[in-house]
Structure 1
Amino acid sequence: MKPRMPGLIIVLLALLTAVGPISTDMYLPAFPAMKAELMARPGEAQITLAAWFLGLSVGQITHGPLSDHYGRRVPLLLGTALYTIASIGCAMAPSMTILSCWRLVAAFGGAASLVIPRAVIRDMVLNGVEAARLIGRLTLVMGVVPILAPTAGGFIAEHLGWEAIFWVAAFYGVLCSLLIWRYLPDTLLPERHVTLSLVPTLLRYRKVWRDRVFRYHALEGGCGTFSLFAFLGGAPTVFLGTYHLSPTLFGSVFISNATGYIIGVQVNARAVRRYRPGPVLTAGACALAVTTSAMLVLTLTGIDTPLALTLCMMACMTALGFVLPGAAIGCLLPHAAEAGSASALYGTTVFFIGAFSTVLVGEIGRGSPVPMAALMVLGAIGTLLCDRQRPRRARRGSRRNARSDTLVGG
């Protein structure tokens, strides 16, 4: 195998990785229109978002073993096809309940695009440093795409209706399926296929989860995601319902968020070159606690203008640019032999924890920014507590691990 990947395959993997953020962020500006047309009760729109995150959680832990047994190409094709069909179902849904069910199915299929591209890189690139660099580029896609998705979704919702957003998602799924079928080879060598068996798979996950280094890094990433998803679930009601922003202007809020995240990732990449990854991750957790607390203070004192909340959330996203990449690489580095299982279990953990915040903000939000900010603070506190529990051998990573952490961070 060559140590470098063809540029076309890298672009294809980036397109596949974008399925997650596109499907998460693009339909948020359409929440008011969806609730009005489908006569939804308060909190039901957030349930569709929670169903998406739950489907991603279950799908990631499922597609990993399937791709190790059947190869990368077939599960990726089937997952993308399922995502496409379910997106069509979302566009034609007659109620919020049916829409939530289709979102769950779409997420289960779309989860293949989050897990398998990382496995393709591991298959094709033998050099660990180069593989980490490429995985970092895929991670950066998840920060760049949210710049465009809400703005595009707001424009589509205003001019074509909320259903058109899901038709666009279905078209994107068809495009990805065609590109996979035409250009992506099966990168897993036949001799590396593993037997698909429930007990060994569960034992691998059990082995990974029992490692305190993995467990507390995963929980730290999950609590950070809890804060992020509290904002994603509450922002449409607050900015569109309470502040009456247009869907297109609402998209500009996510431009600042994504900009903050990209800044955080890039600064994190430079910081871990000078300092150990552990202290940098701790600094990110502390910054998240400070910025979310500032947002809560603003909402409680009545200084919660759209601009003030947007700037606070941009600062929160900058902090998450340290926390999320640091937690992810902290999970993967000690488990090179079970990298696929560790990656899938990490993804399942963070999306499962994050899904709870979208449900909670939908139930208690009622258009006020205070519950949204309070849940973000709760997630930040959990991040700090998990950071304190991380074993010291994770905090005192070697210079070699610091190098890998830098590359995965962007």
Structure 2
Amino acid sequence: MPANSRIWAYSLPATVLLMAPFDILASLAMDIYLPVVPAMPGILNTSPAVVQLTLSLYMIMLGLGQIVFGPLSDRIGRRPVLLGGALLFAIASFCLAASSTVALFVAFRLLQAAGASAALVATFAAVRDVYAERPESAVIYSLFSAMLSFVPALGPIAGAVIAERLGWRAIFVALGAVALLALVNAVFRWHETRPVSAAVARRSVLPIFKSFAFWTYTLGFSAAMGTFFVFFSTAPRILIEGAGFSEVTFSLAFATAAGAMIVTTRFARQFVQKWGIPGSLARGMAMLLFGAVLLSVGQLFGSPSFFTFILPMWIMAIGIVFAVSVTANGALKGFGDIAGAAVALHFCIQSLIVGSLGTLAVVALHGNTAWPLVAYASVMALVVLVALALLRRRKIPG
């Protein structure tokens, strides 16, 4: 631990139990909502394109908010940003449950994303504060990654069951309740972790923007997460509307792709040690391209089904894990003294790319086919592979 960091006395298991809910909630608010997405146009009396905005704008706000909350956490501390974000997330979730018009629903989704953004950036900045120079850092990042892998697997199933038994509004009540429980726990147990010197010495963020390595690995993160974003944006329409899956059957099929990520995460440390950071990212991009080829074959010569849409996504899911296991370390290396700002920019740029280009692919190429997923994954993977080649050839410092 840095000498100027406030002492964190909790054990690693206690830390994970304290921090994990704030890491999970941002993703859970996306995934638990998926099974009811096809029904929302009728519920809110709007179009599928507007309902797509409730996914896209959430992603964009999740990133934009971190531009504000990352530097703010460097200035005033992690604790107030985390507590304020969790409270905002909970209030917005309860308001979403009470919404009856599309305008209010979209507005509260934006507020929910802002709250999730604040909690997320404060959590990751605190992890760097406490574990940046300790061997437990690899363990806690692996644990967080493993937990996040379970969210896409279990979130849609939970959403389908809740919606079937209690109605769609209960999904957002459940999100608000989880956020409140995590908030109450944090109020009593989460003390400030920001290094004392951070309030005085504020390094410029310009070196982050000038770092070719930062941009290469942030684009890699965008390629991986954007592929999954386009997948869950199109999957409900392809499988529920196109293939005739029920909400529960869809959720189970969707969960198998997340299951592929979970299994791959189990071996993440071994392949990173063997291939290194650049090698792992390159292999991740290659898997995205391979999956895109299989999706194209299924789209051209088959009909929407588990085999033509979900099985190729298993390949892409493996590639996603290869990429996200190394992109944070590759992008943020050398920026430990401005961790809040660096993490914020990393996540913000990724969210803007995913939210804008991913939505463009879904809208322009019709969200009821596999072509948006093929286009996004292929283009982004090729861009990252070119950037990696330039990074290696020119030996550009991070």
TM-score (norm 1): 0.88
Unpaired segments ≥5 residues, structure 2: 1-6
2:63 pairs with 1:57: yes
Per the alignment, residue 305 of structure 2 pairs with 305
Per the alignment, residue 136 of structure 1 pairs with 142
CA contact (8 A) 1:44 1:362 kept: no
Q: Distance in 2 between matches of 1:393 and 1:339?
A: 27
92, 97, 100: which one pairs with 2:98? 92
Q: Percent identity?
A: 26
Unpaired segments ≥5 residues, structure 1: 398-410
Instruction: Give the paired residue count.
Output: 391
Cα offsets for 1:356-394 (capped at 9, x unmatched):
213531454252333443333333333333333334587
Q: Distance in 2 between matches of 1:47 and 1:322?
A: 29
Cα offsets for 1:234-292 (capped at 9, x unmatched):
11111111122111111112321211112333333212222332222212211211112
2:156 pairs with 1:150: yes
Task: Output the amino acid matched with 1:390.
Answer: L
Q: Distance in 1 between matches of 2:324 and 2:114?
A: 22
Task: Output the amino acid matched with 2:252.
Answer: S
Name the SS of the counterpart of 2:267 in structure 1: helix
CA contact (8 A) 2:211 2:397 kept: no
Per the alignment, residue 29 of structure 1 pairs with 35
Cα offsets for 1:3-40 (capped at 9, x unmatched):
87353232110111111111010001011221111122
Would the alpha carbon gap of residues 95 and 338 (structure 1) be closer, same or farther in structure 2, given more than 3 Å must change? same
Name the SS of the counterpart of 2:48 in structure 1: coil
CA contact (8 A) 2:32 2:159 kept: yes
Would the alpha carbon gap of residues 393 and 144 (structure 1) be closer, same or farther in structure 2, given more than 3 Å must change? farther
Q: Distance in 1 between matches of 2:127 and 2:275?
A: 28
Task: Output the amino acid matched with 1:370.
Answer: W
RMSD of Structure 2 on Structure 1 (CA): 2.4
Would the alpha carbon gap of residues 52 and 194 (structure 1) be closer, same or farther in structure 2, given more than 3 Å must change? farther
Task: Output the amino acid matched with 2:187.
Answer: W
Q: Distance in 2 between matches of 1:104 and 1:149?
A: 20
Task: Output the amino acid matched with 1:229.
Answer: F
Per the alignment, residue 381 of structure 2 pairs with 380
Q: Distance in 1 between matches of 2:325 and 2:393?
A: 19
CA contact (8 A) 2:239 2:305 kept: no
State which drifts further: 63-72 or 146-155: 63-72
How far residue 191 of structure 1 moved from its aligned partner, in angstroms, is: 4.7
CA contact (8 A) 1:276 1:395 kept: no
How far residue 227 of structure 1 moved from its aligned partner, in angstroms, is: 1.8
Q: Please give the residue correspondences for 1:9-408 in structure 2 after superposition, counting only pairs within 5 Å.
A: 9-125=15-131, 127-188=133-194, 190-194=196-200, 203-204=204-205, 206-356=206-356, 357-362=358-363, 364-392=365-393
Q: Distance in 2 between matches of 1:299 and 1:126?
A: 45
CA contact (8 A) 1:4 1:125 kept: no
Q: Distance in 2 between matches of 1:182 and 1:394?
A: 47
Cα offsets for 1:188-224 (capped at 9, x unmatched):
35454358xxxx68x41x3201111111111122122
How far residue 92 of structure 1 moved from its aligned partner, in angstroms, is: 2.1
Cα offsets for 1:307-344 (capped at 9, x unmatched):
33111111111111101222221112233333332211
State which drifts further: 317-326 or 6-15: 6-15
Would the alpha carbon gap of residues 44 and 22 (structure 1) be closer, same or farther in structure 2, given more than 3 Å must change? same
Would the alpha carbon gap of residues 213 and 45 (structure 1) be closer, same or farther in structure 2, given more than 3 Å must change? same
How far residue 142 of structure 1 moved from its aligned partner, in angstroms, is: 1.2
Per the alignment, residue 407 of structure 1 pairs with none
